[in-house]
């Protein structure tokens, strides 16, 4: 838009300059006067005229006193015929020097051609600039086929290495092998070993897949070509494939190197699945990747690393030997890893003396590396906004809650009644969580609203767990239902505040029945086949593989599990009325309770037997 206005102003300026030149030329003489032809005739008859110059249709008469008179005639008519027709005395005319001048090039041009040419020039120029604009995008369209892979210099001082990746020990161990391949290929070739071509990094979002791939290149000190799966898929069909080709061409030129295809599931989805039009293009792109991977020689030392968080949707052709046959799983970090990741990211941040990263790690079970990096960053922002010189523990805790639940909303106006209900509701969650031995211990209770939650109770497991027993799930359901149960018990009616609790409890109960085979009546099998269909975005489609009769049973079982949880919660709430009231009183007074304050009220958590 700005460019258009600029061009327009440019035209205007050119136009005015030309107009100015034009007018300067046309009124060229000093004191010439435009007169009618009869004035000229009478001038000649009175012998006032000394000279007449004819140039084209223009007649310039120089008078005896030096004045000039300009008049015009039809260009084709001869001057002498014209004058004699008008009754000029031929004798007088003989005294006058008459010269016929060719119209000067410029004059002719300006007078006769420019008026026609100028609009043409302006229109032409306009089109030219327009075309140039279009061509700009056109040439961009032409370069669509080029890969936009980012290169990076292997001898960069700030390159990412394994030091920047905390935890992920197994993954690093496996990738060290790749580093060796790249650094000492001869060692392997001499023994006839084939260097793997493709490594697939699998892991949830934010677990550091991109970071790891980069660090492999950094460790091996080889160039790193980075491209994201979605970059291959463009507006035009065929662009993806040609980008793949150009990416590998570039890579071959700078081998040994690493080609990194991030989010490969964007192109590498199982072919022929899904609805909608765009997957033709994806298929072509994927085929091209396969062709390229088959194409380069084992001696070329190009290793393709791809990352995805959806290995389940990948095309089997990608996974067969000779392609991405190495698979490296990257798990969510465990307690120790989380502490290490925090340490890596705290390197350049001044931390207060009271900060114990271990405590932060304890509270962030299930967080990914990216989440942890985000927490440190949020804490730094909080500290900076308060004008602090270093990040203290409170900033970090606040950041965790902000990331987990949403920002605090202190200004949200709640009535005393609502506050009281929230206090009972959260106290219920906390109480039940505390007194159920296999529920996670409570870290914090708050009735300050945050994000969309009116209040919240934070729990964290003592240790990272990968397996859960049925009784734990029932306890979990009990804790989820506790808020609802307390409201019913105390106010004898429930509010909408428990909606999301109920939904979570229900879906957990459903998983127990349909996914975990924990229902005694329905037996050890799963129900329903989850299948992803891509149609207008992402959609999980569940296919029923059971009868109507079983569906009824499943519903019964779900209700049964919910009832078990509810009963558990109700029993604790009825037994521990005193503690409940004490927690509520403390909450109404202080709004938030930390772990030690809470423990003082309720006593030690009963041990799991």
How many residues belong to the site for Zn ion (CB under 5 A)?
2
Nearer to Zn ion, 218 or 483 (CB): 483
165 binds, among Zn ion, ligand ADP, Mg ion, none (CB under 5 to 8 A by kind): ligand ADP
Residues 207-266 that bind Mg ion (CB under 5 A): 210
Which of the residues 426, 487, 570, 579 is marked catalytic?
A: 426
Under the binding rule (CB under 6 A), the answer on residue 369 touching ligand ADP is yes
* DSSP labels, 115-132: HHHHHHHHHHHHHHHHHH
Task: Please report which helix (H) or strand (E) contains residue 594, including its range.
Answer: strand 592-594
Residues 126-165 that bind ligand ADP (CB under 6 A): 165
540 burial (CB, 10 Å; 0-12 / 13-18 / 19+) is exposed
Under the binding rule (CB under 6 A), the answer on residue 293 touching ligand ADP is no
Q: How far is the CB of 368 from ligand ADP (least distance, A)?
A: 6
> What phi, psi does 494 have (nearest 5°)?
-110, 160
How many residues belong to the site for ligand ADP (CB under 6 A)?
18
Under the binding rule (CB under 5 A), the answer on residue 308 touching Mg ion is no
Under the binding rule (CB under 5 A), the answer on residue 339 touching Zn ion is no
- Rule CB under 6 A: choose which of 75, 133, 136, 205 binds ligand ADP: 205
Under the binding rule (CB under 6 A), the answer on residue 218 touching ligand ADP is no
426 noted as active-site residue:
yes
Nearer to ligand ADP, 307 or 513 (CB): 307
Residues 497-516 that bind Zn ion (CB under 5 A): 501
Distance CA 72, CA 54 (A): 9
Half-sphere exposure of 465 (CA within 13 A, CB side): 11
The one segment of 206-214, 388-396, 418-426, 495-503 that binds Mg ion by CB under 5 A:
206-214
Contact between residue 318 and residue 290 where contact means Cβ atoms under 8 Å apart = yes
Which residue from 264, 274, 175 is spatially nearest to 219, judged by alpha carbons? 175
Nearer to ligand ADP, 42 or 309 (CB): 309
Pairing of strands 456-459, 442-446: antiparallel
The one segment of 122-130, 366-374, 385-393, 468-476 that binds ligand ADP by CB under 6 A:
366-374
* DSSP labels, 290-334: HHHHHHS-GGG-EEEEEEES-GGGB-HHHHSTTSS-EEEEEPPP-
Nearer to Mg ion, 210 or 422 (CB): 210
Q: How many helices (H) and strands (E) does the chain have?
A: 23, 15
Under the binding rule (CB under 6 A), the answer on residue 256 touching ligand ADP is no
Distance CA 53, CA 9 (A): 41
Nearer to ligand ADP, 178 or 562 (CB): 178
**What tokens does 284 get?**
């072509």
Distance CA 600, CA 539 (A): 48
Cα–chain center distance at 292: 28
Contact between residue 320 and residue 275 where contact means Cβ atoms under 8 Å apart = no
483 binds, among Zn ion, ligand ADP, Mg ion, none (CB under 5 to 8 A by kind): Zn ion
Nearer to ligand ADP, 211 or 593 (CB): 211
501 binds, among ligand ADP, Mg ion, Zn ion, none (CB under 5 to 8 A by kind): Zn ion
Q: Which residues bind ligand ADP (CB under 6 A)?
A: 165-168, 203, 205-211, 307, 341, 344, 369-370, 373
Q: Which residues bind Zn ion (CB under 5 A)?
A: 483, 501
Active-site residue list? 426
């Amino acid at each position: 838009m700005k460019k258009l206005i600029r061009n327009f102003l440019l035209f205007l300026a050119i136009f005015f300059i030309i107009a100015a030149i034009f007018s300067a030329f046309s009124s060229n003489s000093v004191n010439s006067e435009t007169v009618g032809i009869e004035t000229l005739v009478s001038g000649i008859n009175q012998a006032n005229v000394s000279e007449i110059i004819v140039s084209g249709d223009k007649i310039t008469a120089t008078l005896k006193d030096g004045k000039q008179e300009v008049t015009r005639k039809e260009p084709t008519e001869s001057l002498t015929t014209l004058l004699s027709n008008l009754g000029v005395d031929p004798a007088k005319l003989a005294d006058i020097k008459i010269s016929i001048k060719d119209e000067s090039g410029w004059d002719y041009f300006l007078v006769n051609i420019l008026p026609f040419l100028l609009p043409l020039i302006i229109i032409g120029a306009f089109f030219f600039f327009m075309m140039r604009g279009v061509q700009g995008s056109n040439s961009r369209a032409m370069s669509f086929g080029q890969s936009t892979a980012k290169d990076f210099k292997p001898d960069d001082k700030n390159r990412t290495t394994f030091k920047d990746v905390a935890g992920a020990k197994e993954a690093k161990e496996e990738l060290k092998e790749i580093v060796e391949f790249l650094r000492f290929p001869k060692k392997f070739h001499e023994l006839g070993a084939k260097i793997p071509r493709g490594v697939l990094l699998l892991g949830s979002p934010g677990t550091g897949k991109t970071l790891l791939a980069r660090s492999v290149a950094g460790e091996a000190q080889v160039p790193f070509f980075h491209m994201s799966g979605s970059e291959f898929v463009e507006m035009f069909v065929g662009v993806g494939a040609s980008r793949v080709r150009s990416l590998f061409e570039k890579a071959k030129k700078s081998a040994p190197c690493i080609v990194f295809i991030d989010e490969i599931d964007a192109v590498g989805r199982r072919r022929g699945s899904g609805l909608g039009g765009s997957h033709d293009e994806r298929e072509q792109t994927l085929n091209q990747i396969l062709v390229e991977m088959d194409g380069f020689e084992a001696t070329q030392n190009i290793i393709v690393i791809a990352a995805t968080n959806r290995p389940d949707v990948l095309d089997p052709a990608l996974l067969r030997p000779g392609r991405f046959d190495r698979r490296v799983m990257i798990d969510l970090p465990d307690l120790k890893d989380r502490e290490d990741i925090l340490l890596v990211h705290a390197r350049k941040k001044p931390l207060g003396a009271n900060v114990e990263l271990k405590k932060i790690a304890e509270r962030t079970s299930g967080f990914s590396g990216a989440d942890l990096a985000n927490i440190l960053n949020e804490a730094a922002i909080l500290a900076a906004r308060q004008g602090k010189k270093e990040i203290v523990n409170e900033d970090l805790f606040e950041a965790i809650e902000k990331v987990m639940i949403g920002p605090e909303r202190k200004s949200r106006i709640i009535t005393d009644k609502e506050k009281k209900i929230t206090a009972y509701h959260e106290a219920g969650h906390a109480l039940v969580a505390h007194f159920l031995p296999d529920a996670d211990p409570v870290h914090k209770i708050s009735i300050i609203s945050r994000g969309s939650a009116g209040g919240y109770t934070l729990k964290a497991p003592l240790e990272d767990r990968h397996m859960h027993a049925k009784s734990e799930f029932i306890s979990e359901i009990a804790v989820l239902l506790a808020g609802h149960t307390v409201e019913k018990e105390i106010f004898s009616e429930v509010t909408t505040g428990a909606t999301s609790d109920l939904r979570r409890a229900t879906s957990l109960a459903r998983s127990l029945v349909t996914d975990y085979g924990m229902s005694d009546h329905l037996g050890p099998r799963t129900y329903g086949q989850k299948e992803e269909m891509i149609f207008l975005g992402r959609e999980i489609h569940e296919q029923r593989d059971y009868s109507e009769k079983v569906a009824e049973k499943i519903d019964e079982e779900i209700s049964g599990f919910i009832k078990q949880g509810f009963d558990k919660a109700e029993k604790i709430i009825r037994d521990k009325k005193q503690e409940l009231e004490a927690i509520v009183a403390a909450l109404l007074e202080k709004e938030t309770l930390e772990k030690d304050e809470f423990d003082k009220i309720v006593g030690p958590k009963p041990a799991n037997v």
